[in-house]
């Protein structure tokens, strides 16, 4: 029996809502569930990466609905998702007003240029780094930027999935 036996054996309809709270894309959650059983966490993460790499642009945009703008409150999300986003973006809460305003302006410029929110895996990154990445990405063409968004979504999904599965294993 693997360390992921609870995840492997639980009914899909029990796990699916929790997975969708991590990454709000039906194809991602359904793909992860359909590929069970997994031998280890790395296998789950490789499957997650593969699914994200195959998502269509519309599915990526749907996933963005589950993410607040960098530096903003997670309005419209359930309490657990809002708390997770706030923790991931904790560096922004410590940023000074000038830096927060620069992020707000950058978010607006990004959305005008690309038609979607600026998505970045914020966990472990400083507010200065988040702003620097935003400014760099504004120079991307739309095709390149979509690939960067896909990579960031994969990274966020990995972080959240790892945390969720570790939590599941700790509470066995």
What ranges do the domains of the chain cover? 5-170
Whether 71 has a pLDDT exceeding 80, the answer reads: no
What is the average per-residue pLDDT within 62-66?
A: 85
Confidence of residue 1 (pLDDT cuts 50, 70, 90): very low
Q: Which of 2-11, 104-113, 134-143 is predicted with the least confidence, judged by mean pLDDT?
A: 2-11
The pLDDT, as a whole number, for residue 167 is 76
- Name which residue leads in pLDDT, 105 or 79: 105
- Name which residue leads in pLDDT, 68 or 9: 9
Largest CA distance in the chain: 53
Q: What angle do CA 89, 95, 98 make, to 5 degrees?
A: 130
What is the average per-residue pLDDT within 31-54?
A: 96
DSSP code, position 74: -
Contacts of 19 by beta carbon, 8 Å cutoff, 6+ apart: 28, 29, 32, 33, 161
pTM of the predicted protein model: 0.87
Q: Which CATH class is domain 5-170?
A: mainly alpha
Confidence of residue 105 (pLDDT cuts 50, 70, 90): very high
Compute the distance between CA of residue 130 and CA of residue 24 in angstroms, rounded to an integer.
23
Contacts of 5 by beta carbon, 8 Å cutoff, 6+ apart: none
Share of the chain above pLDDT 70, in %: 84
Helices and strands of the chain, counted as H and E runs: 10, 0
Confidence of residue 78 (pLDDT cuts 50, 70, 90): low
């Amino acid at each position: 029996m693997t360390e992921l036996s609870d995840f492997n054996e639980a009914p899909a309809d029990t796990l699916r809502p929790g997975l969708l709270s991590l990454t709000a894309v039906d194809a991602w959650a359904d793909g992860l569930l359909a590929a069970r059983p997994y031998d280890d966490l790395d296998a789950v993460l490789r499957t997650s990466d593969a699914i994200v790499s195959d998502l269509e642009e519309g599915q990526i945009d749907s996933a963005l609905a589950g993410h607040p703008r960098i530096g903003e409150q997670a309005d419209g999300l359930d309490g657990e998702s809002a708390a997770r986003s706030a923790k991931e973006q904790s560096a922004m809460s410590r940023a000074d007003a000038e830096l927060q305003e620069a992020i707000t302006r950058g978010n607006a410029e990004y959305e005008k240029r690309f038609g979607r929110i600026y998505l970045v895996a914020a966990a472990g990154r400083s507010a200065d780094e988040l702003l620097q990445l935003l400014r760099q990405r504004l120079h991307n063409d739309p095709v390149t930027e979509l690939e960067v968004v896909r990579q960031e979504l994969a990274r966020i999904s990995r972080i959240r999935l790892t945390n969720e599965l570790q939590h599941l294993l700790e509470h066995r």
